[in-house]
Structure 1
């Protein structure tokens, strides 16, 4: 079926020309407004050769075509004899309940991780150098390095003020001023001098609390600030906003913060410490067994972010963490043990290579490649990693293992388990826990039998054109995807299958979102291919690799590129952003242009697009996914910087 025949069938099964009131297209889909939805034969359209999926969404009927959508629409437009037009759709649903809480925690804590992880590692190295006698605590070198190592935690409210302001969409500099009032000498000196009589503001007592290294008070304060700022801003005339808005907002917010919210947040932190101590005092190894075994699932769902406030609170108040960081360490080593066993046991060259590279990453504390590329795919090694994590978790909680700094839980973080006074007992406990997790997981994986990945069958299937009716999980027909208007390319002959990895780097800076979490089934059901989405923090899109621009949407919201080794990428800025007709977008490249990794492709106005009711979450899709054995996100949660490794394609 060529493009003309396909467009005729789509019109017929949509109820005919008389049932279509509007027709247009975006980067992957034909979009229709129809008079009567019951006349649309949805399943028959989904079954058409050349259609990847179809659905009703908001006030539209959408047919997912993929890369050929412009050519199909050209034929369809000729037959309908009408110009394409657009109707603005409803705003997508926002996260609610526990997902909203986790999204907020992730958005606040992930951006500050480079600072606290970097200084945390320095703290561990200093402890190691002192233990080895390479540096003296009284030396000037130690004092300078120690000030660097402690700075991020001492001034933690400032870091959290910025990330919280970005998450709650309020001015960052006003939020920093809010943090400054918490650490202002008037408050801090009163605490250090042990003033028993509180300072009073309008006869109300201001509690004397040490807010250095605090976590909860500033987050709650910035959250309040966001509401107060929006409320005040409505009443201040435009010409004097810059003068009066921030002043009035601070005069309202700061006293509430110091009188009520700050002390409340301080008590929440205290009870988080008490709760952690109670948990380990009453459950002992059981907590470690459960959390150590389930930690991969907890990380996959993003639930580990729920531990971040308590972890940072414990590090700032107690000086150590006994929950998230130690448990994550043994769980990560358990993943490393499983994939290294796969590396030794598998006869599949592709899987052997993936297992080795992902095993090295797991040793360093990055387990997503191991999880998604090896253990989950083979299943039995994943079960083995759960057993190994549970064994190691049970041991470290039984001995009360402590981590004295924040770092990525891998082998390089082991110096953080040396006691502040140079004691090595806790360090040896960490080594034993790591060894137990690795050895148990490694051994169980070797003992279990799993189905070897049949590379030849996988590649043949990807070129055989098998596709399910919904077009979501089964591979897209390679012949169909490559066909011209009149003929179909000959079937692909597989001469030899060799492992080949292609790298896709992040085209944006922003927060990672799994495709399955998107409200648009076209992306969430992977109709257009596998990948991941990014919620942008700045309005710039850059090239994810060296390659060629193959298509720039007329509405400027989407760009397709092909790398020099054959990876086809779609970068689709926002959901339903085609409705803006190019407004607020500024493309910097044209179709056919060669680009280098990191070269600017597109700029867009984040605030204006959000004000128009468009969800800016941006899918980054490998549209020729069926050409590969798998497309694996390197990480699936948190904030990723531009030009960081984002996806791996494996064939």
Structure 2
């Protein structure tokens, strides 16, 4: 399923466009606020090809996509015409308590992650280049690159103004103007000149505060702005709204922000910073062990967003973070260790492939594919990863590991652990913490016993069975085929493809999975050739060349459908060798296709082989349900 089709399916199964109030995404998940949770078909969304998991958390509906989330969201955003009218807001369910707080924090901070992660990584690379002597701090190159690296944090109120305005549903440009007043030279110049005597506005003091890199004041200010704007907009007559609404809103909001909300937000940020320092001063290792062991669960529930204000506050005021980013680094490495152990130990080829790809993602800091695709499925590797994370968390908090920039916590973020003031001890602490978490979870996963086998379907046709033994060599996972009685006839269909067998029930396409078009089996081809499965006649060739139908001499109607949703290619990458009405013999070439190009187009190449006149038979039975099958080997048996 390509990104466009996947996003369309997600919208439909989420209750349609009319049920979606707001949609956004983080590094691995699509996130939705919906009107009616009952309209969301959760289990169907989980089964979509390209979806790793789906859940309701903190009054959000979350769909775990993994590394392709940005591409899927781009398609989804284009298909949604979101209505944010007041009437819709009245119909929307309201979050309460902690759920409301987490939903708000998530909605505000998630959209700005690309900017702060990108600039944070640049700061880490600059620190590495300076440490290696490849770049000097007085050079023009360093000064320009450093200004890029610092820009997102210095002007953080502007970024937060936009994301807060979207979350609180108020005009973004007025919110930006609000941020501009916080960073206006009148206040900044007074602060830099140590002019601490407050400015007076209507005899009320305006505190001189440095709002660069601040977090909480602008969020609280935009929240206030949203209420003031709605009130003023109702009062001002329509013909003069454009002229007076924004002016009145700013004249009311800005003084309140500068006199009361801004200083309050600054104090909250200061106490968050002090609270973090106190926590680590009094129970550092214990805090690290608890958070390191529980962080995967915290991330799964979305609770990690509660740490974001404190993390950004610490980075802006102290220049480093000692909580969220270092803990996430070691817990991500513990996930990587567990899935890499699964990759080495498993005999299941599908799980081995998933473990390798998700293990690489986890090493780079993206753990949802590892969590939902491997460790949670197998359970014991997940427990091993919790132990590894706790061990690494205890170590890094005991030594006081610091992260000097914001980035996705993976191996590529290690340069952010180089202390700008000099010395390499902090980086060594990070490397040791990473090694502890990875090695412990890796070894524990290898030692524990876990089951990665896939359930094998059973075949049962009748109380009076007779075994049919196909004239092929015995294979692993072969199931006996039974027929109704000695007098009944069986028809045979040979395999038109070479590849891995996949039961229809495992396909993401419900039409095939629910056997709506008939019984059969699917094949994931390893070469781009389709041949005739019997002697017969071609009854139909699709205009898009991706499917063909044939009828055997004894009346079996077969559909061979190359790939899923390959109709979208409109014949590209396919070369049909026959035409409707043409007689064919077993093994004659029917279609040739470019296997790699179809995969590169983002389409699933698994190919159903269906007996379309299944109701004419007592049953249609696959000879094998797992393993690899060769072209022209017995595939299906029909029973009359």
- State the shift of 1:444 in Å: 0.2
Provide the residue aligned with 2:563 in structure 1. Answer: 565
Separation in structure 1 between the aligned mates of residue 208 and residue 92 of structure 2, nearest angstrom? 44
Separation in structure 1 between the aligned mates of residue 266 and residue 39 of structure 2, nearest angstrom? 52
Provide the residue aligned with 2:263 in structure 1. Answer: 263
Provide the residue aligned with 2:193 in structure 1. Answer: 193
Instruction: Pick closer, same or farther for the CA change 1:145–1:263 going to 2, 3 Å.
Output: same
Counterparts in 2 of 1:498-647, with a 5 A limit? 565-566=563-564
- Measured against aligned partners, the alpha-carbon deviations of 1:420-468 in whole angstroms (never above 9, x if no partner) come to 12310000000000000000000000000001222644999996879xx
Instruction: Pick closer, same or farther for the CA change 1:593–1:118 going to 2, 3 Å.
Output: closer
Given that 1:464 and 1:478 are in contact with CA atoms closer than 8 Å, whether structure 2 keeps it comes out as: no
Given that 1:349 and 1:499 are in contact with CA atoms closer than 8 Å, whether structure 2 keeps it comes out as: no
Instruction: Pick closer, same or farther for the CA change 1:207–1:90 going to 2, 3 Å.
Output: closer
Instruction: Pick closer, same or farther for the CA change 1:61–1:223 going to 2, 3 Å.
Output: closer
Matched, 1:402 2:402: yes
The structure showing larger relative contact order (alpha-carbon pairs under 8 Å, at least 6 residues apart) is: 1
Provide the residue aligned with 2:514 in structure 1. Answer: 481
- State the shift of 1:315 in Å: 0.0
Separation in structure 1 between the aligned mates of residue 364 and residue 14 of structure 2, nearest angstrom? 41
Separation in structure 2 between the aligned mates of residue 120 and residue 64 of structure 1, nearest angstrom? 36
CA RMSD of aligned residues (A): 3.9
- State the shift of 1:96 in Å: 2.2
Name the SS of the counterpart of 1:200 in structure 2: strand
Name the SS of the counterpart of 1:233 in structure 2: helix
Separation in structure 1 between the aligned mates of residue 209 and residue 287 of structure 2, nearest angstrom? 32
Given that 2:339 and 2:358 are in contact with CA atoms closer than 8 Å, whether structure 1 keeps it comes out as: yes
Name the SS of the counterpart of 1:405 in structure 2: coil
Given that 2:341 and 2:446 are in contact with CA atoms closer than 8 Å, whether structure 1 keeps it comes out as: yes
Given that 2:116 and 2:407 are in contact with CA atoms closer than 8 Å, whether structure 1 keeps it comes out as: yes
Name the SS of the counterpart of 1:395 in structure 2: helix
Provide the residue aligned with 2:53 in structure 1. Answer: none
State the TM-score, normalized to the length of structure 1: 0.61
Provide the residue aligned with 2:393 in structure 1. Answer: 393
Given that 1:28 and 1:65 are in contact with CA atoms closer than 8 Å, whether structure 2 keeps it comes out as: no
Provide the residue aligned with 1:209 in structure 2. Answer: 209
Provide the residue aligned with 2:240 in structure 1. Answer: 240
Separation in structure 2 between the aligned mates of residue 152 and residue 321 of structure 1, nearest angstrom? 17
- Measured against aligned partners, the alpha-carbon deviations of 1:173-232 in whole angstroms (never above 9, x if no partner) come to 100110010011111111111123210000000011110100000000000000000000
Separation in structure 2 between the aligned mates of residue 213 and residue 161 of structure 1, nearest angstrom? 12
Name the SS of the counterpart of 1:218 in structure 2: helix
Separation in structure 1 between the aligned mates of residue 42 and residue 117 of structure 2, nearest angstrom? 43
Provide the residue aligned with 1:521 in structure 2. Answer: none
Name the SS of the counterpart of 2:91 in structure 1: coil
Matched, 1:292 2:292: yes
Larger Rg: 2
Provide the residue aligned with 1:330 in structure 2. Answer: 330
Instruction: Pick closer, same or farther for the CA change 1:116–1:286 going to 2, 3 Å.
Output: same
Separation in structure 2 between the aligned mates of residue 61 and residue 455 of structure 1, nearest angstrom? 31
Instruction: Pick closer, same or farther for the CA change 1:314–1:64 going to 2, 3 Å.
Output: closer
- State the shift of 1:158 in Å: 0.6
- Measured against aligned partners, the alpha-carbon deviations of 1:369-414 in whole angstroms (never above 9, x if no partner) come to 0000000000000000000000000000000000000000000000
Separation in structure 2 between the aligned mates of residue 321 and residue 27 of structure 1, nearest angstrom? 41
Structure 2 unaligned blocks of 5 or more: 1-10, 16-34, 46-87, 459-476, 480-500, 528-543, 547-560, 572-603, 609-627, 629-640
Provide the residue aligned with 2:159 in structure 1. Answer: 159
Given that 1:353 and 1:499 are in contact with CA atoms closer than 8 Å, whether structure 2 keeps it comes out as: no
Q: Which runs of 4+ in 1 moved over 4 A?
A: 26-30, 60-67, 455-466, 474-480, 496-500, 592-596
- Measured against aligned partners, the alpha-carbon deviations of 1:613-635 in whole angstroms (never above 9, x if no partner) come to xxxxxxxxxxx9x999xxxxxxx
Name the SS of the counterpart of 1:284 in structure 2: helix
- State the shift of 1:237 in Å: 1.3
Provide the residue aligned with 1:372 in structure 2. Answer: 372
Name the SS of the counterpart of 1:135 in structure 2: coil
Provide the residue aligned with 1:424 in structure 2. Answer: 424
Separation in structure 2 between the aligned mates of residue 204 and residue 210 of structure 1, nearest angstrom? 19
- Measured against aligned partners, the alpha-carbon deviations of 1:56-105 in whole angstroms (never above 9, x if no partner) come to x99x99999999xxxxxxxxxxxxxxxxxxxx999352332222211111
Instruction: Pick closer, same or farther for the CA change 1:369–1:27 going to 2, 3 Å.
Output: closer
Instruction: Pick closer, same or farther for the CA change 1:355–1:28 going to 2, 3 Å.
Output: closer
Instruction: Say how many residue pairs are matched.
Output: 435
Given that 1:401 and 1:429 are in contact with CA atoms closer than 8 Å, whether structure 2 keeps it comes out as: yes
Instruction: Pick closer, same or farther for the CA change 1:595–1:394 going to 2, 3 Å.
Output: farther
Given that 2:504 and 2:515 are in contact with CA atoms closer than 8 Å, whether structure 1 keeps it comes out as: no
